[in-house]
Amino acid sequence: MQEKITDIIKKESFTKEDLVRLLSSEGEERAVFLKKVAKSYIGTIGKKVYFRGLIEFSNYCTKDCLYCGIRKSNSKVDRYNIDDDAILEAARFAHQNRYGSLVLQSGERSDDAFVERIENLLRRIKAETNGELGITISVGEQTEETFRRWFEAGAHRYLLRIESSNRDLYYKIHPQNHKHDFDTRLNCLHLLKKTGYQTGTGVMIGLPFQTYEDLADDLLFMKELNVDMVGMGPFIEHHDTPLYQYRDQLWPLQRRFEVALNMIATLRLLMPDINMVAATALQAIDPMGREKALRVGANIIMPNITPTFHRKDYQLYENKPCTDEGADDCTNCLNIRIEMAGREIGYGEWGDSRHFFKRISGKQ
């Protein structure tokens, strides 16, 4: 007879089979599981939700990930590069509205001009906000030297999703060339930790060819890598990408959404003190998607503060939300939604990963 899900949740450590049971749960059993996690995890990390104002400052990319709408080979995309002054303006907006932190995100580039530009930008943002704004970067794979320069210029968190920890699956969703190398990506995560960043990774959920076993391994990978932050969300197909050809083999969108919440709740059991993002892709499927993620384990929200006129050009997937709202609209609606989810916003606070401090003190 199968073990009861309520007994699995009570365990101190989980086998891969336990994780598969939790991730694949449906219906009444799933409702019981999520409710239990929702009740217990606030006791560990508290009620607060922290904002990271997201600036998607450029959609130029040198890579060709087979799932991504802004991949290099998609010639239908209007490419943009928001200038430094406009980025600073958005950073000032985040600071004035007491967002605590911002995330600088773009397609991947590693040329000298780009590296230098980010370095200068970081110094300017720090100077203009009296060092009060925490900064996360998410611009892909870089050299150790680049990671170090940006760290010294003021960035202290870095998000680099492994996308899938299954090497074979990784190569099914990326082109087979040296620009898309699993080991290089994995090594970057080690370099980020070594440099001193609060290090974040994550995966997409509901990829073609992906199984519950793969997802369980993804969670074990995050635990093993001892990361400080995780951002993971549903895969959403984009019609101008190669993976679109598998659209008939995917889980229905609603199931991808459910499994994404199962992943968040399960990881919260495995890693109680990390920071976890309520990913924007959840909202593309369910208008209350991010709030539902907050209920079951997420504690970070990334309101989009990219200047409105460029948002439509950063379409990683279809139906991406908030492409025509101004930053203010997003902030107001978020306040109400977060309170409705029974949570509190940590205004003006960095809300750093508790796990990070334990890790560097050798306690985790």
Identity of the residue, 105 or 331, whose beta carbon is nearer to ligand SF4 in the bound complex: 105
Q: For the chain, what is the total number of helices (H) and then of strands (E)?
A: 14, 10
CB of 204 to ligand SAM, least distance (A): 5
Member of 317, 341, 351, 354 binding ligand SAM (CB under 6 A): 317
CA 206/CA 276 separation, integer angstroms: 19
329: CB partners within 8 A, 6+ apart: none
Contacts of ligand SF4 in 55-114 (CB under 6 A): 61, 63, 65, 68, 70-71, 107-108
Residue 317 contact among ligand SAM, ligand SF4, none, beta carbon within 5 to 8 Å by kind: ligand SAM
Nearer CB in complex with ligand SAM: 22/66: 66
- Token pair for residue 239? 């019609």
Q: What, of ligand SAM, ligand SF4, none, does residue 204 touch, CB below 5 to 8 Å by kind?
A: ligand SAM
What is the Cα–Cα distance from 129 to 177, expressed in whole angstroms? 41
Backbone angles phi, psi at 233, to 5 degrees: -155, 175
Which residues touch 328 (CB under 8 Å, ≥6 apart)? none
Cα torsion 23, 270, 200, 85 to 10°: value is 80
Q: By CB under 6 A, tell whether 105 contacts ligand SAM.
A: yes
- CA atoms lying within 13 Å on the CB side of residue 66: 18
Q: Is 210 in the site for ligand SAM (CB under 6 A)?
A: no
Interaction of residue 238 with ligand SF4, rule CB under 6 A: no
The binder of 232, among ligand SAM, ligand SF4, none, by C-beta within 5 to 8 A per type, is none
SS3 label, residue 201: strand
71 binding partner (options ligand SAM, ligand SF4, none; Cβ < 5 to 8 Å by kind): ligand SF4
| Tokens encoding 61 | 């990319």
The residue range among 103-111, 112-120, 168-176, 290-298 that interacts with ligand SAM, by the rule CB under 6 A, is 103-111
For tokens 């980025």, the residue is 87
Tokens of 255: 């199931």
Number of residues counted as binding ligand SF4 (CB under 6 A): 9
| Residues engaged in binding ligand SAM (CB under 6 A) | 67-68, 105, 107-108, 138-140, 160-161, 163, 204, 235-236, 238, 281, 316-317
| Residues engaged in binding ligand SF4 (CB under 6 A) | 61, 63, 65, 68, 70-71, 107-108, 140
